[in-house]
Structure 1
Amino acid sequence: MVREKRKNHIPFRLNVLFFAVFALFSILILRLGFIQIVEGDEYESMLNDEGEQTATVDAPRGLMLDRNGNTVVDNELQLSLTYTNRPGNEEERIAIADRLSSFLDITEDDIDDITEREWQDYWLQTREDEAEQLVSEQEQAELEDEEVYQLQLDMLSQDEIMADMDEDEMEAVAIWTEMLSGYNYSPNRIAEIEEETAHAIGELLHELPGTDIMRDSVRFYPYGESFSRFLGQTGSIPSENLEQYIGEGYERSDTIGTTFLENEYEDVLRGEKAEMTTDADGNETMDPGKRGNDLVLTIDMALQQELDSIIQGVIDGASGDTFLDDREAYVVMMEPDTGEILSMASYGDHLGTVTNAFEIGSTIKPATVLAGYTHDVIDHGSTYNDRPLTFPGDARSVSSWRNMGTVDDIDAIRMSSNIYMAGIAMEMADYEYGASGTDWSGASTAYRMLRNHYRQFGLGTETGIDLPFEMTGIEGTENPENLLFMSFGQFDTYTPLQMAQYTATLANDGDRIKPKLVKEIREPATGSEETGAVVRQFTPEVLNSVNNTTADFDRMHEGMRQVMQTPGSNGTGGTAYSDFSGADYSPAGKTGTAQVTVNGQNGNNQAMIAYAPHDDPEVAIAVIVPNLSTGDNASGLANNITRQSLDAYFEMQEGQPEPEEVKDEDEMYQDQQGDEEEEIDMEG
């Protein structure tokens, strides 16, 4: 039998497979060649980058100097211990906290700040066997983990936990809570440490994973508490603003300005961080960074200290029954033609100059008379018969502090006539005394006329000062009776800063200048330079011009001059004539007394506004002393403060004294740990 010869061939499908493998290898070889030849340098650079490590060091913030070059906010080196959290490092964190307790000074306040939940969590993590026994096996089987955890918390009290710990362990808990407060993968400052402590911990850093020592700078104030609240504070980024700051290039652990000037000028004061880069071969390169720019303030620190001292002397010298509530007094002094604030001083908290509002009494009267001119209800020389006014119904009667008879516009300012102002308000309301009866239908129009004119001076509106916020005062409820009292300053409320801007606007013949606390921004000084180059210089900014003529203002200048200087045509001195006898700087101003009720008792707010010299003003001042009794022992406090403050200003122009630095270190340094947002009382 002849065997059939079989064909020896490769199936078609196998050929296709071989071809596909060949094509894939060809593509792979081409790709490897492309990567090595064309993209080799790029990938080598990426590999080097992977081996690089970059460490950043916070740059010191810019300084703040007063208008004469005295440093009012400086930086001092501060060493900080940091810890970087990572997921799953709970046991490590507890062990490190225990070791650090022997190096760090933990106070009773630190332990008191630990919350009950933190005590509970620490106990559960360090006593797992005991924690497990708190819940039965059946409960553990039937309940979710969160429910078991909640049961354990319910069975633990802070007192029992603390009784189970010695002092060393409680100190460790305080450190542990600080370590927990940071974000994952971001260094968190847990303690400020001295250099000796830093050396001791530094020798053990290799045994304390996640810990490091950072060189920080801490703010300190050579002049202590004087003006320090307005300078502001620094602290951690608030959680509600975290995303915003990270978007601007900040890190979670960065320190920022949290209040007032530190916050308002954060982008200026913030420095450029130093960077140390180490490549894969251990070579180091350094970008030194840059300190933040400096602020040159408008404040005269020597004058600020002097006004603080004057206020304290006057208010402390008042008898015990002078005040119906806490002792307060506020002074704002500024240059009228530039808007530069020279001083914001007080008895009590300086912030009250921008956050507290008061009825300012007769100091409002120049604005009321000017409103009368604008709305053609009076003219230069118009007269009223100053006598008590009574109205039908339940409306209160209105009178001046004495019956003055016939007075014109200048007399009304010099002698402080309430009736003249009430007359202006009635004319605006189209109310005829003795004929209109209870028909006050035009009162709403009069309110609008007066308030709109007051706002042109900065009363009842934002002044525009370079701070994160300010109070705008409080407008009372409109009714006919209140309209008359508003016209002479016993209704709406205003801040001392608004009063100062109003005074400056009067001095400027109606130009309302934006007040400011920063005069210049400068680069950090280098080498032998005392100050760096000017980055920005702020020029006066006119916010608006009051709708009155130069002749209108001339009438008010004369009336305000007669308040403090030469008696009027009838030989009668103004309401501050005796207080400013002998003043050689030719002041002009207006006194004010607003009747208020304080703690159920009748009292007064005393106020005064002034500028000098009256014919070419270089300084404007506003003073208010609220919540005074009606007794004779309380009289003249605002006038006294104004006289001493203006005397001090003009004396200092003859020879600039140096401000005095404080000696108490506790007053000089700011604690940057745990700074919280200022709580501001916005009630007037």
Structure 2
Amino acid sequence: MNDVVRKFNVLFLAVFFLFMLLLLRLTELMLVDGPLYARAAEHISDKRVSVSGSRGWIYDRNGLPLAKNETVFRLTFLDEGLSREDVVALTAKLEAVLKSLPRDKNPVYNNRVDILRALDVGWRYEAKTGDEEKARAAIQRLREGTPFRPEEWELKEAPLSDPRYVPRTIPVDLPPEVVFRLEEEIGEYPGVRIETAARRVYVYGDLAPYVIGYTRPVRSTSSKERYDELLSLGYKPEDPIGEVGVEAAYESVLRGVPGTAIVRSNALTREQTLTVEREPAAADNVVLTIDARFQRTVETILAEEIGRINATIPDQKRDPVKEALAVVVDPWNGDVLAMAKAPGYDLNCWNNLDRPECYKEVERGFFNPLLDGKYPPGSTFKPLTVLFGLQKGLVGPNEKIMSTGTYRIGTTVKHDYKPGGHGPTDGLKAIQESVNTYMYEIGMRLYRRVGGVKPAIETVRRFAEPFGLGTPTGIDLPGEGTFLPGGGTEVGRIADMMIGQYDFYTPLEIAQYAATLANGGTRMRLHVVRSINEPVENSKGPGPVRYPIEGEVLNRVDVDPRWIAYVREGMRRVTQPGGTAAAAFAGAPVPVALKTGTAQRVQVTVPGTNRVRYKYDTLAIGFAPADRPEIAFAVIVPGVYSLSGNTAAPIARRIVDAYFGAEPPAPLEPVTKAADRDRAKE
């Protein structure tokens, strides 16, 4: 009995003791820690932030991916209210990690000055030297591996670029071995997390850069108003946004549907948590009208022909041709099959602007001459002149105008390129042999009919517009320019207009003009996107078509079909014996209708000599096959010391051969495979 009582007493005392401990702890929580927790509760704040969706891919017309996303590991930072000392310690630790990466993989964020700038915590390092140029040199030395010396730098307060609750990203791709090491030590890096991100990759590098375009981080936006607007639309500072090309034109399609998350911050404990509220969704994909293999072949042809021209034309060796352009379209629906300029530029360089090898690359991306370059059409305008003369009753189809080699307008004497002239010339021969005096006569008859140069020029312009010259093509790319009107009102300027030496047009306008002739007089809107497609799991192809982009008729020319057929026959004869492109098109795989053009551009002194010569822009427009065209094209080679017959026409011939299988396609290799092959050679 006594044992039972004793055991009961022990149990009672133990329970009583535990109860008293609990009571004391409860009292402490209420009286001592209560105000602290109350204050903490008052300092808890919730912020709703955007979570980016996956950007859509860009494919060629055959389903080859051209722009895609690759998953990479990056460091993000969410400010936990670090003290100045904590910031200094954190940047030093991050410097040790990021400096271990190969410099070609991380040319900038390998030092604490740039790392602190990326963290954007309200502090920054400034070089103690007061000289701006010396300060830039000091940062460059750090990037090249010079150790950080605290005595050379001072920590200063700096305004925040974004609110503290917006995560910052250090834009450096981390290799797996670094990720594994950091994950084990992440507690030593306050506010730092390792997260996956999507890096935009252009699969073939410099393929079709003037079509595809590129993205840049929202943070790179130069306008503060635009930057704030993008943030209000749910973009994050590190999100990609299309700058030019399809990436910009179809930004609303390619941008992933953002989700939302709640960031809960406690100002006292410096803790932050992120909870996804609504999952983001993948964007639609875009399928282009471009055929990637044909596009690459056209780019290769342009580059090779630039080399040939510079090697074979004597003065070109001293003053080389710098570029060549070509546009190839389907005349029946406006599909752009190839839109090329050589040299191009590597689209991936826009995500690696700190790499020296990318400097020259990106310079070529600032201006798109295919969209906004201005070029005189030269003799490629002559089919329109003949068509105009026939439609307006200024000449007849069988009427012959004598070409003696010269044509006098007042006190000015103009010439044919052929000494002694071409003899009796009708419209077909005028196109085939590119007879200037025939065109001059049409211009002067118009001048006499309307009573002045200005009304004559405006009459021709109104006639040219429905064919695509002097008006936007409607292409679905941003930044399209249009024609540059010529100047001067002296009588001879109407003669210049008739041979394509007055107004200037874009390559797209000239290509649309060729396509309108090719299909018999229907101007189709040019477009580079074929369809918008639904996303599919694991990005296995472009996905089902959400909606196709059909060909759109802009207008039909009000011209007698007989005269269009007449002009088309004249263009067919250009590639036949006696035509200006007969040599270039001998043995072509299909009949080709063509018109060459050589526009006098500028008079220069040839470098290294005392000789003064004209430089020309040489052109070729046409379509093939001549009777039922599948393609229409425009080729432009600016800055040539020779005629179009041995510059632009051979390029046009090779493009026709490539399309119809008579020239093998150029290799099309993803940049990753090319890089692997080059490393294997080292």
TM-score normalised to the size of structure 1? Answer: 0.74
Residue 214 of structure 2 aligns with an amino acid whose one-letter code is: Q
- Looking at structure 1, the residues matched to 522 and 132 of structure 2 have their Cα atoms a distance apart, in angstroms, of 69
Matched, 1:264 2:258: no
Which of residues 666, 670, 677 is equivalent to 1:661? 670
Matched, 1:651 2:630: no
C-alpha distance 215-514 of structure 1, shift in aligned 2 (>3 A): same
3-state DSSP class of the match of 1:76? strand
Matched, 1:232 2:232: no
Structure 1: gaps spanning 5 or more residues: 1-46, 132-151, 432-439, 568-572, 669-684
Residue 334 of structure 1 aligns with an amino acid whose one-letter code is: V
C-alpha distance 539-586 of structure 1, shift in aligned 2 (>3 A): same
Q: Look up the match of 2:409.
A: 391
Shift of residue 458, structure 1, vs aligned partner = 1.7
Q: Look up the match of 1:446.
A: 456
Shift of residue 362, structure 1, vs aligned partner = 0.6
Q: Do 2:523 and 2:556's aligned partners in 1 also have CA atoms closer than 8 Å? A: yes
Matches within 5 A, 1:199-598: 199-237=180-218, 238-240=221-223, 241-273=226-258, 287-320=278-311, 321=314, 323=316, 324-349=319-344, 351-387=368-404, 388-393=406-411, 395-402=412-419, 403-430=421-448, 442-480=452-490, 481-526=492-537, 530-565=541-576, 573-597=578-602
C-alpha distance 585-158 of structure 1, shift in aligned 2 (>3 A): closer
Shift of residue 641, structure 1, vs aligned partner = 1.0
Matches within 5 A, 1:118-267: 158=135, 167-169=146-148, 182-185=161-164, 186-194=166-174, 195-237=176-218, 238-240=221-223, 241-267=226-252
- Looking at structure 2, the residues matched to 574 and 192 of structure 1 have their Cα atoms a distance apart, in angstroms, of 59
C-alpha distance 283-488 of structure 1, shift in aligned 2 (>3 A): closer
C-alpha distance 424-551 of structure 1, shift in aligned 2 (>3 A): same
3-state DSSP class of the match of 2:169? strand
C-alpha distance 160-661 of structure 1, shift in aligned 2 (>3 A): closer
Residue 158 of structure 1 aligns with an amino acid whose one-letter code is: A
- Looking at structure 2, the residues matched to 372 and 397 of structure 1 have their Cα atoms a distance apart, in angstroms, of 20
Shift of residue 461, structure 1, vs aligned partner = 2.3
Using the TM superposition, name which of 487-496 and 92-101 deviates more: 92-101
Using the TM superposition, name which of 296-305 and 183-192 deviates more: 183-192
3-state DSSP class of the match of 1:299? coil
C-alpha distance 178-419 of structure 1, shift in aligned 2 (>3 A): farther
- Looking at structure 1, the residues matched to 283 and 156 of structure 2 have their Cα atoms a distance apart, in angstroms, of 32
Residue 452 of structure 1 aligns with an amino acid whose one-letter code is: R
- Looking at structure 1, the residues matched to 124 and 233 of structure 2 have their Cα atoms a distance apart, in angstroms, of 38
- Looking at structure 2, the residues matched to 51 and 333 of structure 1 have their Cα atoms a distance apart, in angstroms, of 58
C-alpha distance 463-85 of structure 1, shift in aligned 2 (>3 A): farther
Matches within 5 A, 1:95-114: 95-105=89-99
- Looking at structure 1, the residues matched to 156 and 475 of structure 2 have their Cα atoms a distance apart, in angstroms, of 40
- Looking at structure 2, the residues matched to 367 and 163 of structure 1 have their Cα atoms a distance apart, in angstroms, of 58
3-state DSSP class of the match of 1:184? coil
3-state DSSP class of the match of 2:309? coil
- Looking at structure 1, the residues matched to 670 and 132 of structure 2 have their Cα atoms a distance apart, in angstroms, of 55
Give the fraction of aligned pairs with identical amino acids, expressed as a percent. 29
Q: Do 1:111 and 1:171's aligned partners in 2 also have CA atoms closer than 8 Å? A: no
3-state DSSP class of the match of 2:148? helix
Shift of residue 177, structure 1, vs aligned partner = 11
Q: Do 1:162 and 1:170's aligned partners in 2 also have CA atoms closer than 8 Å? A: no
Q: Do 1:67 and 1:297's aligned partners in 2 also have CA atoms closer than 8 Å? A: yes
C-alpha distance 400-554 of structure 1, shift in aligned 2 (>3 A): same
Residue 380 of structure 1 aligns with an amino acid whose one-letter code is: P
- Looking at structure 2, the residues matched to 647 and 261 of structure 1 have their Cα atoms a distance apart, in angstroms, of 28
Q: What is the root-mean-square deviation of aligned Cα atoms in Å?
A: 4.2
Shift of residue 342, structure 1, vs aligned partner = 0.6
- Looking at structure 1, the residues matched to 518 and 531 of structure 2 have their Cα atoms a distance apart, in angstroms, of 25
Q: Look up the match of 1:16.
A: none
Deviation by residue 1:294-314 (Cα, 9 ceiling, x = unmatched): 111001111112122222222
- Looking at structure 2, the residues matched to 300 and 156 of structure 1 have their Cα atoms a distance apart, in angstroms, of 48
3-state DSSP class of the match of 1:579? coil
Shift of residue 99, structure 1, vs aligned partner = 2.0
Q: Look up the match of 2:650.
A: 640
C-alpha distance 108-582 of structure 1, shift in aligned 2 (>3 A): closer
Residue 246 of structure 1 aligns with an amino acid whose one-letter code is: L
Residue 578 of structure 1 aligns with an amino acid whose one-letter code is: A
Using the TM superposition, name which of 573-582 and 461-470 deviates more: 573-582
C-alpha distance 528-102 of structure 1, shift in aligned 2 (>3 A): closer
Residue 635 of structure 2 aligns with an amino acid whose one-letter code is: V
- Looking at structure 1, the residues matched to 676 and 210 of structure 2 have their Cα atoms a distance apart, in angstroms, of 12
- Looking at structure 1, the residues matched to 564 and 52 of structure 2 have their Cα atoms a distance apart, in angstroms, of 54
Q: Look up the match of 2:348.
A: none
Shift of residue 259, structure 1, vs aligned partner = 1.7
Q: Look up the match of 1:619.
A: 631
Whose strand proportion is higher, 1 or 2? 2
Deviation by residue 1:633-681 (Cα, 9 ceiling, x = unmatched): x85121111111101101189x99994434566699xxxxxxxxxxxxx
Matched, 1:71 2:65: yes
Shift of residue 258, structure 1, vs aligned partner = 1.6
- Looking at structure 2, the residues matched to 110 and 582 of structure 1 have their Cα atoms a distance apart, in angstroms, of 58
The structure with the largest alpha-carbon Rg is: 1
C-alpha distance 61-620 of structure 1, shift in aligned 2 (>3 A): same
3-state DSSP class of the match of 1:217? strand
Shift of residue 596, structure 1, vs aligned partner = 2.5
Structure 2: gaps spanning 5 or more residues: 1-40, 266-272, 346-367, 606-612, 678-682
TM-score normalised to the size of structure 2? Answer: 0.74
